Amino acid sequence: MRLFLALEPPHKLRERLSELAELAQDRCGGRRMPDDSLHLTLAFLGEVAEEQGAALSAWVGERPIPTGEWRLDAWGTFRRPGIVWVGGRSPALERLHESLWAELSAFGFSGRAEHFVPHVTLLRRARQLETRSLPTIDLSWPWRRLSLVRSFTENDGARYETLARSPAA
């Protein structure tokens, strides 16, 4: 099974991210991410055996994370595969990212990305990667829980299922 660790946005923020995805799609084209799949990936784990997935679920279910707040104040793009995103730098998120990867080494994971770019993907396969005409953003994302998410690849894109959540801080 294909797994990743993520933060899921609070309901009101998810609604605002959905509005921004609509604006971005109007200007850039592409495929909009479904509202219920909007998230911040902290650690992509890839293909994981069922037993290891069960152990990760138990670990996440028992592991509180430090609370924090993330400011989303920038638009960005990744040329391949035509991704338009919103995000922002956050030392607290970078520390959380590092600590998770340090703990994941006990499960045999070592695939930490060299350069962590905190972002929420809004569009895939955008025809235009120009974001200067999009509105200025300044959103707050308070986080309190970590989620272990399973990704299913389907003909019309990925579908996500939350397998475990950490205790609320």
CATH number, domain of 7, equals 3.90.1140.10
Per-residue confidence (pLDDT) for residue 80, from 0 to 100: 83
Domain that holds residue 102: 2-165
Which one is predicted more confidently, 109 or 17?
Answer: 17
Q: CB-based burial of residue 137 (10 Å sphere; 0-12 exposed, 13-18 middle, 19+ buried)?
A: middle
Residue 155 is predicted with a pLDDT of: 72
The yes-or-no verdict on residue 41 having pLDDT over 80 is yes
Per-residue pLDDT at 119: 96
pLDDT in tens, 28-38: 999 999 999 99
Residue 76, pLDDT > 80, answer yes
H/E/C letters for each residue in 100-113? HHHHHHHHCCCCCC
Q: What is the mean pLDDT of the chain?
A: 93
Q: Could you report the per-residue pLDDT of 123-143, keeping only the tens digit for each?
A: 999 999 999 999 999 999 999
Q: Based on the structure, what is the number of domains in the chain?
A: 1
Higher pLDDT, 79 or 114: 79
User: What is the average pLDDT across 54-81?
Assistant: 95
Lowest mean pLDDT among 34-43, 48-57, 86-95, 154-163: 154-163
Higher per-residue confidence, 110 vs 105: 105
Q: Across residues 77-93, what is the average pLDDT? A: 94
